[in-house]
Structure formats: structure tokens, C-alpha cells
């Protein structure tokens, strides 16, 4: 590996470690009402916080089979976090939506994340805060460009309309 390639690799390693540490600090909650949920179930609830989705679209987004998605939905329904509903005019489409309890849990998680970030940002000058936000937006845009997520976003928005 040449010297020119070493620097970006080292920067990527440092950025990945920093993002992981930042994520742990922002998401860590002492009394998290969703702490007992497996990651797949928590991811489904996080997606549904944006609105109901067809189960097939959720499965594609999470990279799991419809059978696995059904099992996840079953567990979340038993926990009273989601409810299956018919999708639009096509009764064959089954959508998941958060129950009021599920929405409350996700809202509390979001509020806690925002407050943790706010507490950290308050230690920075207004200019540095703006620079942090711009840098994170730039990094997210670069991630989207490398993953071709624009197409996935269109699929998600179209799938959301079916519910």
C-alpha cells in the first residue's frame, strides 16, 4: 500500500472509531424502555417511527426474508409495540404501525438522544456547532453516494404511501 493510500485508510479507521464512540454515548440510556429489545426489533420500531410500512418493504430494507419479518412482527405484537393493519385498498398488503405504547417508547428514545447531543453541543462555540453539523451532513451525503441509497429512499417513500 502506497503512502497516498495509507492516509485515507488511517483517517477512515479514526473516523469509524470516533463514530462508534459517539453513537454509544448518544444512544446510551440509563433507563431505556427498549433496552430489552433485540436489535432487529428495535430497528423495525425505529423505521416505523417514521410511519407505517408494508411488511415486505420492511423485510427488504432490513435484508431479512418475509418469514423472518413475520417472526419479528409477531414478537413486537406480543410486546404491544406494533399492530398489523391492512394496507390501503389492497387487503393482501399487511402493514405494521407502532402502537401508542411503541410510539411513546421511540419518542422517549429520540428525545433522550437529542438532549444528549444538545448537552455536548453546548460545550462548543456556535461556529464549531455549525461546522459539526455541516461535516456530519457531508459525511452522510458521501455515504449515500457510495451506497446508492437515493433509489432505496424512493422505494421507502413509495412503500410508506401503500399503508
- Which tens digit of pLDDT belongs to each residue from 2-20? 556 679 999 999 999 999 9
pLDDT at 59 over 80: yes
Tell me the pTM: 0.75
92 or 130: which carries more pLDDT confidence?
A: 130
Report the number of distinct structural domains present in the chain: 1
Q: What is the mean pLDDT of residues 122-148?
A: 92
For residue 145, being part of any structural domain is answered with yes
For residue 86, being part of any structural domain is answered with yes
How far is Cα 136 from Cα 121, in angstroms, rounded to an integer?
Answer: 13
Per the prediction, the chain carries an average pLDDT of 86
Nearest Cα to Cα of residue 58 among 41, 79, 75: 41
For residue 30, being part of any structural domain is answered with no
For residue 120, being part of any structural domain is answered with yes
For residue 12, being part of any structural domain is answered with no
For residue 7, being part of any structural domain is answered with no
- The helix (H) or strand (E) run that includes residue 87 is strand 82-87
- The helix (H) or strand (E) run that includes residue 137 is helix 126-147
For residue 101, being part of any structural domain is answered with yes
CATH code assigned at 52: 1.10.10.10
- The helix (H) or strand (E) run that includes residue 107 is helix 100-121
C-alpha cell at 124: 462548543
The residue segments making up the domain with residue 98 are 36-161
Phi, psi of 117 (to 5 degrees): -65, -40
For residue 24, being part of any structural domain is answered with no
Amino acid at each position: 500500500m502506497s503512502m497516498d493510500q495509507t492516509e485515507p485508510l488511517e483517517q477512515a479507521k479514526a473516523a469509524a472509531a470516533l463514530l462508534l464512540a459517539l453513537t454509544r454515548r448518544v444512544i446510551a440510556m440509563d433507563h431505556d424502555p427498549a433496552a430489552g429489545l433485540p436489535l432487529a426489533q428495535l430497528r423495525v420500531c425505529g423505521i416505523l417511527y417514521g410511519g407505517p410500512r408494508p411488511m415486505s418493504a420492511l423485510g427488504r430494507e432490513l435484508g431479512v426474508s418475509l418469514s423472518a419479518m413475520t417472526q419479528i412482527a409477531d414478537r413486537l405484537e406480543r410486546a404491544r409495540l406494533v399492530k398489523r393493519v391492512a394496507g390501503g385498498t389492497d387487503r393482501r398488503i399487511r402493514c405494521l404501525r407502532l402502537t401508542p405504547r411503541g410510539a411513546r417508547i421511540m419518542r422517549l428514545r429520540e428525545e433522550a438522544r437529542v438532549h444528549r447531543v444538545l448537552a455536548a453541543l453546548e460545550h462548543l462555540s456556535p461556529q464549531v456547532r455549525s461546522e459539526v453539523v455541516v461535516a456530519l451532513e457531508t459525511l452522510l451525503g458521501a455515504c449515500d453516494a457510495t451506497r446508492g441509497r437515493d433509489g432505496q429512499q424512493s422505494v421507502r417513500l413509495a412503500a410508506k404511501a401503500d399503508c
